[in-house]
């Protein structure tokens, strides 16, 4: 059974269905990437105007009855307003900026729709495609934020449907074909925008999570560094503090859990790469463990040699098993090469033995350590890179 779990290392951050950050995360994102966004928008707007005004040439061919109206709309209305918006972007806040972009794009699409609706030229219906290209520009190149892209796409779609439905002299077959083509273009571009925006937002949240883990690990290292109960190599609490904390928590009324952790085939690691590399490996693994031991009810310690231990208070079986699985996966994802292994695994992994103290019961610390150690042996016997729960025959693989 593969463990598929995660542990929140800091402040909870998530996206709603409109792909919006919470206010604090949004402000942090703007502080880091706001100027880059501003520069990109100004460049894309100016480049877009060049191609947008090419529609004046197609207007001469497709709408010879209203060439002046087309030129006025493109050159004297949309172009100066777009240039003004490009100039204004660095002067306004991010929320106003994105809302203005949405409104501006609705106006930009409205222009070719109005020309399509007004013209009576035989080829005038072909100008309908110009608004579809403009939708692709807004959703993909300009990359409107998804919530604005949704509003933009819905508004222009229904505007286009109104133009088709009320246009006089339009071929009846086009009353079916044009909405179908237009709806497809809107749906595809909106879906592409959603995927792009979701990737942008989730990538940033993952970056923040990594920073939080690193900051938590560094804070834990600094906190433990000055303690007399600190292991000199890893900076984690040592066996002495572990024993004291375990005796106190196991004698208390709260539920508790103990995990004994051993690096798999660590002797072979030292034999292959030498003890300095072995020490470096222990430090890297300890840094990962420190990142998880940031609360008042959890302690990660170096037990001795390549063995570590976690003691956790106010935790049930489900949470304890979840943490064991996450620790195993976190060490595996470090990807520390282990050339000395002969079991087909090429990186450093850990095995975990877990035992629990139910709430309301008092347990002897030595007995708990013996149980966790037996569970650790069982995890190793079953193939390593997994955890075993004391008293549980059905041991799960991480």
Could you say which of 30, 36, 218, 306 is catalytic? 306
Cα–Cα distance, 5 to 326 (Å, whole number): 6
Are residues 55 and 112 in contact, defined by beta-carbon separation less than 8 angstroms? Answer: yes
CA dist 186 to 57, 89, 154, 156, 250, Å?
A: 25, 26, 8, 9, 61
What is the full DSSP assignment across 297-344? TEEEEEEETTEEEEEEES--HHHHHHHHHHHHHHHHHH--B-TT--SS
Kind and range of the H or E run holding 95: helix 94-118
Q: Find how far residue 398's CA is from the centre of its chain.
A: 23
Residue 5, classed as helix, strand or coil, is coil
Strands annotated E in 188-323:
256-263, 298-304, 307-313
Beta bridge partner(s), residue 258: 311, 355
Q: Got the DSSP string for 42-54?
A: HHHHHHHHHHHTT
Q: Is 306 noted as a catalytic residue in this protein? A: yes
Q: Are 354 and 389 in contact (CB under 8 A)?
A: yes
| Residues with catalytic roles | 306
């Amino acid at each position: 059974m593969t463990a598929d779990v995660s542990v929140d290392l800091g402040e909870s951050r998530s996206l709603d269905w409109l792909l919006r950050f919470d206010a604090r995360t949004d402000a942090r994102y703007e502080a880091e990437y706001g100027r880059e966004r501003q520069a990109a928008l100004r460049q894309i707007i100016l480049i877009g105007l060049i191609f947008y005004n090419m529609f004046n040439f197609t207007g001469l061919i497709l709408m010879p009855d209203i060439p002046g109206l087309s030129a006025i709309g493109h050159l004297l209305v949309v172009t100066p307003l777009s240039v003004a918006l490009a100039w204004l972007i660095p002067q306004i806040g991010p929320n106003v900026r994105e809302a203005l972009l949405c409104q501006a794009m609705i106006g930009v699409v409205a222009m070719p729709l109005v020309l399509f609706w007004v013209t009576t030229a035989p080829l005038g219906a072909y100008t309908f495609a110009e608004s579809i290209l403009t939708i692709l520009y807004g959703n993909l190149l300009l990359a409107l934020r998804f919530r604005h892209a949704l509003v933009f796409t819905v508004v222009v779609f229904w505007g286009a449907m109104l133009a088709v439905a009320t246009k006089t002299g339009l071929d009846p077959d086009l009353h079916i074909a044009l909405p179908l083509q237009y709806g497809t273009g809107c749906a595809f571009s909106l879906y592409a925008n959603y995927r792009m925006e979701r990737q942008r937002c989730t990538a940033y949240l993952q970056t923040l999570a990594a920073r939080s883990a690193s900051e938590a690990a560094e804070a834990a290292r600094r906190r433990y560094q000055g303690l007399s109960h600190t292991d000199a190599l890893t900076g984690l609490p040592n066996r002495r503090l572990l024993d004291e904390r375990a005796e106190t928590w196991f004698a208390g009324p709260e539920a508790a859990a103990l995990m004994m952790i051993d690096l798999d085939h660590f002797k072979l690691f030292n034999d292959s790469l030498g003890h300095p590399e072995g020490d470096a490996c222990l430090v890297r693994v300890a840094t990962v463990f420190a990142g998880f031991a940031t609360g008042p009810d959890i302690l990660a310690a170096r037990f001795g040699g390549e063995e570590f231990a976690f003691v956790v208070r106010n935790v049930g079986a489900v949470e304890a098993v979840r943490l064991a699985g996450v620790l195993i996966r976190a060490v595996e994802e470090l990807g520390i090469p282990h050339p000395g292994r002969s079991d087909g695994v090429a990186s450093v992994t850990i095995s975990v033995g877990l035992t629990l103290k139910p709430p309301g019961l008092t347990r002897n610390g030595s007995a708990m350590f013996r149980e966790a150690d037996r569970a650790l042996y069982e995890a190793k016997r079953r193939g390593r890179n997994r955890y075993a729960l004391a008293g549980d025959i059905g041991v799960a693989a991480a």
